[in-house]
Amino acid sequence: MDCILIYDFGGQTCQLISRRIRELGVYSEIVPHDFDPFQYSNHTIKGIILSGSPYSVREADAPKPHRRVFERGVPILGICYGLQVMAQLFRGKVERLEKQEYGRAPLQLLEASPLFEGVPNGFVSWMSHGDSVATPPSGFKIVAVSKEGIPAALEDRERSWYGIQFHPEVTHCEFGMKILENFSLRICGARKEWSMERYIETVRTQIQQRVGNSKVLVLISGGVDSTVTGALLLKCLDPNQVHLMYIDTGLMRKNETQEVGENLRKMGATHLHIIDASSRFLEALRGVEDPEKKRQIIGDQFIRVQEEEVGKLGITDAFLAQGTLYTDMIESGKGVGKKAQTIKSHHNVRSPLVEEKRAKGLVIEPLERLYKDEVRALGRELGLPPSIVNRHPFPGPGLGVRILGEVTEEKCRILREADAIYLEELKKRGLYDQIWQAFAVLLPVRSVGVLGDARDYRYVLALRAVVSQDGMTADVFDFPMKDLKEISSLITNAVPQVGRVVYDVSSKPPATIEWE
Ligand code: XMP
């Protein structure tokens, strides 16, 4: 398959570049900045993009691309730092600007360039740079400038090397997609071969070769990633080889267990193990109020139940399939990109089962090259219903971290009912798909209310709705007040234990998405 390689210099938009290229239908992969392109054998490299970076090329330890990038004989596009590093390597000059360019910047096109085919003169680009190219590298000429007269695009058409100072990958950049399309399709000649249908075909062969006749265990959480992993394995292997295990912790949303079970059966699951461990979890949580302790107890119980149940199945030599995504791989610095971030590591319980399988080389991660939106597209391609593929993320500890303070069966029931009304109303009102994550939180306080002539004390329920790209940062969803008020009434009317509803207006940071 044709592929565009994106070299990661640590820029925040590196992943965005890769996503945009894939949106064009061309496969792309992110590699570390010092990766030797002659070592790449997965696909056919048709072009290389050098990304932006938080570094200045003038710093001594600024990352440099592997020298063989320039010997590979394919078109190259340097974006921001990517352009500057090329300039510096090929006898150009990069200087710190007195006046820096950030945000919208109209560009003047000086002459025709294949990169700007179909892009009008004066289009508004998006800039974010302190350094600039003062002298173009040898062989390059300037083809666009900003209002300040600063070089915004350079080309060496003979070698098919291009450099742009702005960021075509961000949505604020007009004609950004057109420029990336010109580079990938016209200049590199990459074919649009990236589709989920094609992905299933590629991954099917890989999985079959790796697994052979062995069994595969998939731990299903009910979330999109593990459900799609399960459905993919059922499609690629004989369903008799695939064991799906789902542990009902008693901390699930309303009807979650039935829904997940029904959908996996529809996908052809024959070995579906739904374990009702709710009483064990609730028993272990009794009297515990501290959020960290609660998380730990839930994590420990999970591990214990998992081990017992896997032991009972007698498939100790089975492969273990996980729904790890491309973003998880990048965040954990596993082989792609260099910019390891550990923000999310605390979320994932280090299960001895996973560690053991990994040590034996028995872990398969068939979504490891996919972004979340691609996993959703894959789920659709596999025939999973929208209620599964479009569902909001749900944390492993479930309602356990959404019932503040002690978790009891009664509180689980109350929250489940209120949360179900909230989510159902969001769907009915066409709001659900505009939101990254929405849920209700049961607070450990009771507040005064009046019912008829009597005073009474009932629970306070908080509603949360955030918009986000990846859960790392989040903003409050701009909730229409009319809907909020109506949903509040519906909840207090239907759930008698709730007397007051509040809306959480905190962004992340400083708050987190979950309350505990
Ligand atoms: P926070 O609350 O840290 O959450 O802003 C960011 C994203 O991660 C989810 N989350 C978890 N997911 N296990 C998970 O699998 C966990 O322990 C966990 N805690 C938070 C959260 O729902 C949000 O999508």
| pLDDT, tens digit (0-9, with 9 covering 90-100), for 394-435 | 998 999 999 999 999 999 999 999 999 999 999 999 999 999
**Residue 449 scores a pLDDT above 70:** yes
Whether 436 and 409 share a structural domain = yes
Mutate to test the pocket of ligand 1, among 347, 354, 402, 470 (most ligand atoms within 8 A of CB): 347
Note whether residue 397 is domain-resident.
no
pLDDT of residue 350: 65
Domains contained in the chain, number: 3
CATH code at 71?
A: 3.40.50.880
Whether 121 and 20 share a structural domain = yes
Q: Whose CA is nearest to atom 17 of ligand 1?
A: 347
Boundary (domain end) residue, out of 187, 209, 240: 187
Q: What does the DSSP assignment read for 25-68?
A: T-EEEEEETT--GGG--SSEEEEEEE---SS-TTSTT-----GG
Q: Which atom of ligand 1 is nearest to the CA of 397?
A: 17
Whether 178 and 202 share a structural domain = no
pLDDT of residue 494: 98
pLDDT of residue 454: 81
Ramachandran class of 439: left when φ > 0, alpha when ψ lies in -120 to 50, beta otherwise: beta
Note whether residue 510 is domain-resident.
no
**Residue 231 scores a pLDDT above 60:** yes
The arithmetic mean of pLDDT across residues 332-342, rounded, is: 43
CA 458 from centroid of its chain's CA atoms = 38
The arithmetic mean of pLDDT across residues 136-164, rounded, is: 96
Q: Which atom of ligand 1 is nearest to the CA of 346?
A: 17
Percent of residues, the chain, with pLDDT higher than 90: 81
Those residues with Cβ within 8 angstroms of residue 459's Cβ, 6 or more apart along the chain or in another chain: 414, 442, 443, 445, 446, 447, 497, 498, 499, 500
Query: Domain residues for 155?
Result: 2-187
Q: Whose CA is nearest to atom 9 of ligand 1?
A: 395
The arithmetic mean of pLDDT across residues 211-234, rounded, is: 94
**Residue 337 scores a pLDDT above 60:** no
Note whether residue 394 is domain-resident.
no
Q: Whose CA is nearest to atom 12 of ligand 1?
A: 395
**Residue 379 scores a pLDDT above 90:** yes
Residues identified as active-site? 80, 167, 169
pLDDT of residue 334: 47
Percent of residues, the chain, with pLDDT higher than 70: 96
- Distance from the CA of 318 to the center of ligand 1, in angstroms? 29
Biggest distance spanned by C-alpha atoms of the chain: 86
CATH code at 308?
A: 3.40.50.620
Q: Which atom of ligand 1 is nearest to the CA of 437?
A: 24
Whether 132 and 203 share a structural domain = no
Distance between CA 513 and CA 516 in Å, rounded? 9
The arithmetic mean of pLDDT across residues 127-152, rounded, is: 94
Note whether residue 515 is domain-resident.
no
Note whether residue 284 is domain-resident.
yes
Enumerate the β-bridge partners of residue 283. Answer: none
Whether 381 and 466 share a structural domain = no
pTM above 0.85, yes or no: no
b/e per residue 282-296 (b: at least 16 CB within 10 A): bebbeebeebeebbe
Whether 71 and 181 share a structural domain = yes
CATH code at 436?
A: 3.30.300.10
Note whether residue 512 is domain-resident.
no
Whether 431 and 305 share a structural domain = no
Whether 417 and 355 share a structural domain = no
**Residue 349 scores a pLDDT above 70:** no
Q: Which pLDDT band holds residue 328 (cuts at 50, 70, 90)?
A: confident
Whether 202 and 243 share a structural domain = yes
pLDDT of residue 450: 83
The arithmetic mean of pLDDT across residues 188-209, rounded, is: 95
pLDDT of residue 342: 33
**Residue 472 scores a pLDDT above 80:** no
Distance between CA 5 and CA 27 in Å, rounded? 9
Lookup: tokens for 89: 């390597």
SS3 74: coil
Supply the mean pLDDT for the chain: 92
**Residue 360 scores a pLDDT above 90:** yes
Mutate to test the pocket of ligand 1, among 296, 514, 515, 516 (most ligand atoms within 8 A of CB): 514
Whether 30 and 166 share a structural domain = yes
Q: Whose CA is nearest to atom 22 of ligand 1?
A: 395
The size of the chain, in residues, is 516
**Residue 335 scores a pLDDT above 50:** no
Note whether residue 398 is domain-resident.
no
Whether 322 and 463 share a structural domain = no
**Residue 336 scores a pLDDT above 80:** no
Boundary (domain end) residue, out of 388, 417, 437: 388
Angstrom CA distances, 222 to 36, 247, 293, 318, 464, stand at 40, 9, 24, 21, 20
pLDDT of residue 330: 61
Boundary (domain end) residue, out of 187, 215, 247: 187
pLDDT of residue 516: 94
Whether 228 and 355 share a structural domain = yes
Note whether residue 395 is domain-resident.
no
- Distance from the CA of 334 to the center of ligand 1, in angstroms? 21
- Distance from the CA of 401 to the center of ligand 1, in angstroms? 10
Q: Residues 319, 362: contact at Cβ < 8 Å?
A: yes
**What residues are in contact with ligand 1 under a 6 Å CB criterion?**
347, 393, 395-397, 437, 471, 508, 512-514
